[in-house]
Amino acid sequence: MGALSAAFAGAAPALAQTETDATALMEQKTDPELLAEIDAEGEAELWVQFEGSPDYSAAYAAETKTEKGAAAIAAAKAFAESSQADVAAALDEAGVDYESFWASSSLKVTGDAELLATVTAFDEVAEVADTPEVVTVEPVAPETELDAAAAGWGVADINAPAVWDQLGVTGEGVVVASIDSGVQYDHPALVNQYRGNNGDGTFTHDYNFYDVEGRCGATPCDLDTHGTHTVGTMVGDDGAGNQIGVAPGAEWIAANYYGSSMESVLKAGQWMVAPTDSQGSNPDPSKAPDIINNSWGRDGDDDPYFEDIVDLWHAAGIIPVFAAGNSGPVCNTANAPGAYANVIAVGAYNVSGAIADYSSRGPVSDGRVKPDVSAPGSTIHSSMPGNRYGSQSGTSMAAPHVAGTIALMMEAEPALRGDYGLVYEMLTGSARYTEDDQCGGTAEANNVHGYGRVDALAAAQELPDGDSGSIAGTVTDAEGAPLAGAALVFDGTFDRRATSSTDGTYTVTFALAGQHTVTVAKFGYATVTGTVTVAPDQTAVFDAVLTELPTTVVTGTVVDGSGHGWPLAATVASAGGEVSTETDPLTGRFELTLPTGGVELVVEAEYGGYQTVRVQADAADLRIEVPVAESCTAPGYTFDPLGTGFESDTAPVGWTVENRGPAPWIFHDPYNQGNRTPGSGGFAFARPPGGGTMDTDLISPVFDLSSAPTPVLTFATDFTGYLPHSAAEVAISTDGGQTWQNAWEATGSIRDSTVTVDLSAWAGAQEARLKFHYYHAYMSGYWWQIDDVLVGGTPDCAPIPGGLVRGTVTDQSGAPVAGAVVTHTASGHHGVSDADGAYWTFATGSGSTQFSVVDAESGSATGSVNVVADGVTEADFTLSP
């Protein structure tokens, strides 16, 4: 045992264990990618997370927002100190440098496998993760500069001017904050609203601007253009008729996080609760904002890294607003933290009120609806650095409309300050419901617009007049133990909702006087009902005791439901995410212990391209058939006889690229142009880099045109041509690609259109191929995008004869190999192993067939696999150098 381990041993009795136990504990608590990084590099940056959470009960019980903030900070710091104490003491004793975070109890330390093993031995350590990264929700199209006098449509669309004119409310007395790229603080539309403006020509940046990454110097700056634009939408007004902001009477502060470092965004989130002076000293919770607007996130909707910060904001009485993300139009694309249950996520719509194609949609993995509301997000006019004005598009442009609306609500009704639940109910309850069932939802909200399009006037007037009081109480089980997460609904003239905290308590700070019917529900417990009477200016008490329901073991099988019928690797969870399990990937079998009486289950296949299915667990043994999605991208399926939507970053299986110039056809979007065709999601893209003449072909696999119901080709396209210097054509081969004939060519630019090509002259071809040829292109401002290529006229998603193959890839020592490419030699279908060495892929045909496996570091392998038609075959591979 080295010096560091010896130092830890004195502070961690858990280290009295075998080396095997220590290794097992390390693997259990550590991100597999981090283990691989340490194995490859010798050491890595470790983020140590701790068990438990702060006790915010005093913060929630506090009367004023400032008192809430002080109590929340005290609770967070107390928990961080106690949870980190032993590990920090051992690091100090060993002389190891580290950084401590109190807002989200964690330690950052650089170390090797020995340090990792000793850290994970502490019982209070919950997890050790790799350096987390975040991404900004960038605009979906380049900015367009506008004249200062140009009027935007978004502010008017949400009825903000009616709030100013009819209610005399502009957001005065409310502070909004931005975690974004920064702000040009002296922009004509923003300078008067900056809280650091002293009104005499001088500025105080202490407590008002946090240069997280130290890139601005002595005064605030914008590291991009994004933050100045979003703050403008919240509060912008130059006093000369250029009213770009929803709440021009509100004040703003900001932190200029704009990188990929979770450390920076954690620091920004921590600063917001207790802003500091420019030296990072003398934190003051009384200077915390009322609302924080965020335009960043992380991949996946269940990422936990910012949960502690959001919980701290809630305890401190701060309202979190997040852009939903720009990953639409596919469903299930909401990203964290916007996907969290306790933040307001905002989707984007265009000037016609229709959802923007790019706007991320729900549901999230546990079945909840997201976004919560939608707001104007396309071609939004706002401020830009350099005293300019410009137009940008994205959910980042939509979110500040909502943050500004909440500022108006808070001036109209000061009781809303610090009350997230009341703000949420008024905002969503007043939204203009906009029907859109493409991603499902409930009767009240869908997964495209949420509860609807924001209406600032209706939201500011939502709180009814009349005497009011509050409601508080505790939810326990039959033995008196507190129950967290119980949902309480108070049904009266103005409905209220609450959720019990970790100690079982809840508080409703505003409730109209009179009698309310109460419903208390929690998964696994019988629902309780009752009544409570609220007296003016008094706190009514309603306690609930819930009885645990009997349970039933439910088993089942999850299978493909569109033709193959093979078992599916899938997650099966209760609709609220309270319990979940994974199927056996080879048999599709699962088992769950559920409350007796039937529970709604949400089923999501591991393989892409399948629909999310919701079923009732109303039998002891279930058979759940999961159909493929309309995109027809599930493994083993294709449009018959030919079709693709280009949904991956590489050419679809069977498609090839032949290139004779400086750049080939690609299938990702390095220029962030977005899909400009009538299609959605991914697309094929040819764009000259400049300085060379392009000549590149995208060639389809062989298909049987004679089987097509109609001999016709359709494809979505966006072609910007400068003929004859940028040209596009489609050719067809009837002999598998040996000879070609021209079938179509562009005679000019074709923007955002669907092209139809008559192929009747070749209708009998049984070995047809198509070639999309882009050539004579040399100017980088031009391109050809194509999507949704379809032959036959009718999109018929049909199964391809074959089966699934899955297994693990290991090296000679038995360690899993990540990133190995496993290829079915005959068809080219392939899969890539994950951090555990697990892979899966589709293979055409059946019977004995050859596979190859290649990894740049660990070597290669070949082997024969007996593929079972419409089944799943297990095949493991060991690589040799």
> Which residues participate in catalysis according to the annotation?
180, 226, 396
DSSP 676: -
Number of Cβ within 10 Å of residue 775's Cβ equals: 18
Cβ neighbours of residue 388 closer than 8 Å, sequence gap 6 or more: 145
CA dist 391 to 148, 151, 229, 376, 451, Å? 11, 11, 9, 12, 27
Q: Residue 378 carries which side chain, given as an amino acid letter?
A: S
Contact, 373 vs 406, CB < 8 A? no
**476 sits in which H/E element:** strand 468-477
**507 sits in which H/E element:** strand 505-512
Contact, 470 vs 539, CB < 8 A? yes
**396 sits in which H/E element:** helix 395-412
- Scored b (16 or more CB within 10 A) or e, 836-869 reads ebbbbbbbbebeebebebbbeebbebeeebebbe
DSSP 166: I
List 685's β-bridge partners, or say none: 666, 785
Radius of gyration of the chain (CA): 29
Contact, 395 vs 233, CB < 8 A? no
- Scored b (16 or more CB within 10 A) or e, 672-694 reads ebbbbbebbbbbbbbbbeeeeeb
Contact, 376 vs 400, CB < 8 A? no
Taking 3-state DSSP, the helix, strand and coil percentages for the chain, each rounded to the nearest 5, stand at 20, 35, 45
With tokens 């130290």, the residue in question is: 214
Tell me the C-alpha distance between 70 and 557, whole Å.
52
Closest CA to 323 of 347, 287, 307: 347
Q: What angle do CA 652, 657, 661 make, to 5 degrees?
A: 150
DSSP 715-738: EEEEEE--TTSSEEEEEEESSTTS
Tell me the C-alpha distance between 123 and 16, whole Å.
12
CA dist 261 to 4, 323, 324, Å? 28, 18, 20
Number of Cβ within 10 Å of residue 177's Cβ equals: 28
Please return the burial class of 23, using the count of CB atoms within 10 Å of its CB with bins 0-12, 13-18 and 19+. middle
Which two tokens mark 673? 């142009």
Cα 92 to chain centroid, rounded: 37
Tell me the C-alpha distance between 39 and 632, whole Å.
39
Which two tokens mark 705? 């045109």
Tell me the C-alpha distance between 753 and 289, whole Å.
46
Cβ neighbours of residue 544 closer than 8 Å, sequence gap 6 or more: 473, 474, 475, 476, 486, 488, 518, 520, 528, 530
- Helix 113-120 × helix 19-29 angle, to 10°: 90
List 322's β-bridge partners, or say none: 294, 345
Tell me the three-class secondary structure of 58-124, residue by residue: HHHHCCCHHHHHHHHHHHHHHHHHHHHHHHHHHHHHHCCCCEEECCCCEEEEEECHHHHHHHHCCCC
